[in-house]
């Protein structure tokens, strides 16, 4: 098993992040353990991605790119509408190798993945990492509910009875897969059957994989799928060494203007600066920030109707004394905090800001 096969799926929105992941794999690959990165581009952007990563090719690292369309039937809406995530269910038919390491596009590799790739799976189908935060939350609050369509569902009951979790719930962002056992166990078919019956599964394919492989998953150390949020280094077997694969899951995305600050945020950007993709990611970041700002302004404008006039108590009280340079960011902050009084205050402050702009332009 000299060659390490790695696979990832993403659409054009994550092309730059996929190239940065490729660069991290290239940086940590060795001549003794070369990495072959299989990339499936969901949508027609294979040529563009090949152009991005061709500079990374070396005797220790290569990229194989393929365009792929949504393979799921509308009869299974959960898979069809979430195909970007469910594509990992197709690895058994897309790859002919015996073993592959699956990585989400929002991961970042800090050290060689050879130790993980060589893990003895025994009779298990996959190796994965326990989703510690999820499991703690699941055990802590047995009364938590969510709406499945029009029905209120108890989360604890859903995961214990529907998915059938007896031990730990694993995160599917990093998976070492024995493809022979995967095919023999009919993992894809079992997952699709689950998704057909549970259209509103909370975590879609991840729930399905836990249902299909719960007792056939080998749990490995947190260093192989380290959640940047909350980023607790004490979970690692060697905290001083740090994680070996970082996963920017949930809202903790360094490349998103709305991303929460998280562990290894700075290291990620330092790594980006050492790749050919730094300028492209900065440009994408600025573009997304402009887009989010435009969306926010449209949201504020559409909600301004709940306040009949820009002259409201908040202006009379103190907003009219706030300098314009502070009024706009303060209004935006209040509007993003939520609904109710806080949101209305933000809209009112935005109206004050706009009315000042009008007076300035009129003068």
pLDDT in tens, the chain (363 residues): 599 999 999 999 999 999 999 999 999 999 999 999 999 999 888 999 999 999 999 999 999 999 999 999 988 998 999 999 999 999 999 999 999 999 999 999 999 999 999 999 999 999 999 988 777 766 666 676 665 555 567 777 777 777 777 668 899 999 999 999 999 999 999 999 999 988 777 788 999 999 999 889 999 999 999 999 888 888 888 888 899 999 998 888 889 877 777 889 889 999 999 999 999 998 888 887 777 767 766 766 665 554 434 434 444 346 666 777 787 787 777 776 655 566 667 767 776 776 666 555 555
Q: Are 332 and 212 in a shared domain?
A: no
Total count of domains within the chain: 2
The CB density around residue 336, as the number of other CB atoms within 10 Å, is 15
Quick one: 271 and 299 in the same domain? no
Name the DSSP class of 233. G
Tens of pLDDT along 138-172? 666 667 666 555 556 777 777 777 777 766 889 99
What span, in angstroms and rounded, lies between the C-alpha atoms of 255 and 258? 9
How confident is the model at residue 314, as a pLDDT?
44
Residue 45 lies in a domain: yes
CA distance 39 to 47: 12
145 and 97 share a domain?
yes
- 352 vs 346: CA distance, rounded Å: 10
Together in a domain, 300 and 170: no
Residues 6+ positions from 206 with CB-CB distance below 8 Å: 85, 171, 172
Do both 104 and 217 map to the same domain? yes
Q: Is the peptide bond before 230 cis (omega within 30 degrees of 0)?
A: yes
> Cβ(72)–Cβ(65) under 8 Å?
no
243, 275, 307 - which closes a domain: 275
The C-alpha atoms of residue 86 and residue 78 are separated, in whole angstroms, by 9
Edge-to-edge strands, sheet with 126-130: 61-68, 35-42, 4-10, 99-103, 170-178, 126-130, 217-220
Task: State whether 216 and 184 are in the same domain.
Answer: yes
Helix (H) or strand (E) holding 108: strand 107-109
Same domain flag for 52 and 186: yes
Of 245, 275, 305, the domain-final residue? 275
Q: Which two tokens stand for residue 225?
A: 């799928």
Tokens at residue 47, please?
Answer: 């040529």
User: Which residue range forms the structural domain that includes residue 299?
Assistant: 295-362
Indicate if 199 and 348 belong to the same structural domain.
Answer: no
- For 284, residues 6+ apart whose C-beta sits below 8 A from its C-beta are 16, 255
């Amino acid at each position: 098993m000299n060659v390490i096969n790695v696979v990832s799926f993403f659409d054009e929105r994550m092309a730059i992040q996929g190239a940065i992941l490729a660069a991290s794999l290239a940086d940590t690959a060795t001549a003794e353990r070369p990495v072959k990165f299989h990339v499936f581009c969901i949508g027609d952007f294979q040529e563009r991605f090949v152009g991005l990563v061709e500079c990374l090719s070396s005797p220790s690292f290569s990229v194989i790119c393929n365009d792929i369309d949504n393979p799921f039937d509308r009869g299974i809406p959960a898979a069809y509408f979430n195909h970007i995530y469910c594509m990992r269910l197709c690895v058994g038919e897309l790859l002919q190798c015996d073993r592959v390491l699956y990585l989400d596009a929002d991961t970042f590799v800090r050290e060689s993945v050879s130790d993980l790739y060589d893990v003895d799976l025994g009779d298990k189908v996959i190796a994965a990492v326990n989703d510690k935060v999820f499991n703690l939350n699941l055990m802590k609050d047995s009364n938590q509910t969510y709406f499945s369509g029009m029905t209120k569902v108890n989360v604890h009951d859903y995961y214990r009875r529907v998915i059938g979790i007896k031990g730990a719930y694993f995160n599917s962002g990093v998976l070492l897969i024995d493809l022979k056992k995967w095919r023999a166990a009919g993992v894809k078919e079992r997952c699709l059957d689950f998704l057909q019956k549970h259209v509103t599964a909370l975590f879609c394919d991840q729930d399905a994989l836990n249902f299909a492989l719960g007792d056939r998953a080998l749990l490995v150390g947190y260093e192989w799928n380290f959640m940047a949020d909350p980023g607790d280094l004490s979970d690692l077997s060697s905290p001083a060494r740090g994680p070996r694969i970082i996963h920017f899951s949930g809202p903790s995305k360094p490349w998103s203007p709305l991303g929460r600050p998280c562990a290894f945020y700075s290291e990620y950007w330092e790594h980006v600066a050492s790749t050919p993709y730094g300028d492209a990611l900065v440009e994408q970041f600025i573009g997304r920030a402009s887009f989010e700002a435009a969306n926010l302004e449209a949201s504020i404008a559409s909600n301004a109707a709940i306040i009949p006039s820009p002259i409201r108590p908040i202006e009379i009280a103190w907003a009219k004394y706030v300098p314009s340079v502070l009024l706009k960011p303060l209004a935006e902050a209040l509007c993003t905090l939520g609904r109710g009084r806080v949101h209305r205050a933000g809209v009112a402050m935005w109206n004050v800001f706009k009315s000042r702009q009008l007076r300035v332009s009129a003068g």
